[in-house]
């Protein structure tokens, strides 16, 4: 009889857990996964995928606004939230099925229930079944962080926003991170009156300040109301169903919905980690080494629950590296340098490498090249919005340290530019490249 029921038991069927389980099974391991909600995890079910689809839907409103300038006459145009919402959720169902098929095709056994750790090699399922595994992988992701104040029960998080019965006419978004900015942009474009409440005077802290300032200027020009240095004191629900929000330092604000988007905490509560003596960080993150191993040699963790870099592609790479290391005989570590990221605001912004502030702090003497331009696409728009690209280089060698941009399709353009930053190219390599004209991307090889 085998010593354990499984070679690998994964808790969580999100991006990192699915990749790790699939690859481990391909290496010949007997694998099982427990998922208490839906296969696919945050990104597929309630995160970047459905959110990006809402972004596309909301951006179409702006395109319609340009229609007459482009020669089109569209009569009777109107927006129906339920149609977009239901289409997005139907595609989420489709993607969940594909993820399930991936696990099934690799003979990974899936338990649609919660699993908790009872020891270094043992787990208990919600049904009461006890199982053992040579290795356990925790890939439970993160969960919306919710501040405490009276009336919080009347508010929603990004988990619920995809299932709203009606589009709010007036929406308050609480937070200054990418989730807050993206949903503020979505509902603003769809015609909602949007107020953003942030406890400091700075949003999107990890992005280049000059790019963020441009985004903030554009967002305000599009009608988003920003309340900086503000926090919710309480929320009361009126007889008419509307929410009255007390911000403490001004008149109460009346809205239809309050969306809390103040970040995400590692989803580690109630997993039984203490039963295996697993070391935790103060914020609930599972501490791991460079090979994703916890303080218990038989238990590993990947993805947002480790709170290293909360990005889906990073979780996928960590899961793959774990499987190759433990089951493939190929120990691998992840390089966390120069990871590209984007905010799908409207317009979107994207960046890779060091910001100007970070580069000056690390290198002292740097050069900054920029292009401040009005994208051709924006000529058709009544908004005189300008794009901004910037490149930060080390002063002597002119090695590119970071590239940051805001404008239409910035994430699509940035992905290719990230290769150059990762490869350690110099500005001269960009200068030597012939421009692709007319395009927005050509600004990258014309920076002055």
Greatest C-alpha distance within the chain: 74
Q: 263 labelled as ligand-binding?
A: yes
d(C-alpha 39, C-alpha 62), whole Å: 34
182 a known binding residue? yes
Known binding residue 297? Answer is no
Per-residue tokens: 75: 């009569």
52 known ligand binder: yes
Q: Which residue has the tokens 């994208």?
A: 375
How far apart CA 23 and CA 361 sit, in angstroms, is 40
Select from 21, 102, 10, 8 the least CA-distant residue to 316.
21
Residue 86 marked in a binding site: no
286 assigned binding-site residue: no
27, 154, 404, 437: the catalytic one is 437
Cα separation of 287 and 300, whole Å? Answer: 9
Residue 178 known to bind ligand: yes
6 marked among binding-site residues: no
Tokens representing residue 394 in the block: 């080390």
Confirm whether 217 is a catalytic residue.
no
> Binding residue per annotation — 189?
no
Ligand-binding annotation for 24, yes or no, is no
Residue 403 in contact with residue 415, Cβ under 8 Å? no
* Residue 333 labeled ligand binder: no
The binding site comprises 52, 175-182, 263, 304
The binding site for FAD comprises 52, 304
> Which residues are part of the catalytic machinery?
437
The binding site for NAD(+) comprises 175-182, 263
């Amino acid at each position: 009889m085998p010593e354990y029921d499984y070679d690998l038991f994964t808790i969580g069927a999100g991006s990192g857990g699915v990749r790790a389980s699939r690859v481990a099974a391909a290496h010949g391991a007997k694998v099982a996964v427990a998922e208490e909600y839906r296969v696919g995890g945050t990104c597929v079910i309630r995160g970047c995928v459905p959110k990006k689809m809402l972004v596309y839907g909301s951006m179409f409103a702006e395109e319609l606004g340009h229609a007459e300038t482009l020669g089109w006459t569209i009569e009777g145009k109107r927006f129906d939230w339920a149609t977009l919402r239901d289409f997005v959720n139907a595609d989420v169902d489709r993607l969940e099925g594909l993820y399930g098929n991936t696990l099934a095709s690799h003979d990974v056994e899936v338990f649609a229930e919660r699993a908790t750790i009872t020891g270094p090699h043992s787990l208990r399922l919600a049904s009461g079944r006890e199982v053992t595994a040579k290795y356990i992988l925790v890939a439970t992701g993160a969960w919306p962080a919710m501040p405490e104040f009276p009336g919080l029960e009347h508010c929603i998080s990004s988990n619920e926003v995809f299932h709203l019965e009606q589009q709010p006419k007036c929406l308050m978004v609480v937070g200054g991170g990418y989730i807050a900015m993206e949903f503020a942009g979505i509902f603003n474009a769809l015609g909602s009156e949007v107020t953003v409440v942030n406890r400091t005077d700075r949003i999107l802290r990890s992005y280049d300040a000059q790019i963020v300032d441009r985004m903030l200027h554009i967002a305000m020009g599009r009608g988003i109301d920003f309340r900086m240095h503000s926090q919710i004191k309480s929320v009361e629900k009126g007889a008419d169903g509307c929410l009255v929000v007390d911000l403490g330092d001004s008149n109460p604000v009346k809205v239809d919905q309050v969306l809390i988007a103040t970040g995400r905490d590692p989803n580690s509560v109630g997993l039984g980690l203490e039963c295996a003596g697993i070391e935790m960080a103060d914020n609930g993150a599972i501490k791991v080494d460079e090979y994703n191993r916890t303080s218990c040699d038989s238990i590993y963790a990947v993805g947002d629950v480790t709170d290293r870099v909360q990005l889906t592609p990073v979780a996928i790479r960590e899961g793959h590296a774990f499987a190759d290391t433990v089951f493939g005989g190929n120990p691998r570590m992840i390089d966390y340098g120069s990871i590209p990221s984007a905010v799908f605001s409207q317009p979107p912004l994207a960046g890779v490498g060091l910001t100007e502030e970070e580069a000056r702090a690390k290198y002292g003497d740097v050069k900054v090249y920029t292009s401040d331009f009005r994208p051709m696409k924006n000529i058709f728009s009544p908004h005189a919005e300008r794009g901004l690209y910037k490149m930060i280089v080390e002063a002597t060698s002119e090695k590119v340290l970071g590239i940051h941009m805001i404008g239409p399709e910035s994430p699509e353009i940035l992905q290719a530019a990230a290769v150059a930053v990762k490869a350690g190219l110099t500005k001269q390599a960009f200068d030597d490249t012939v421009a692709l004209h007319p395009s927005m991307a050509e600004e990258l090889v014309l920076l002055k």
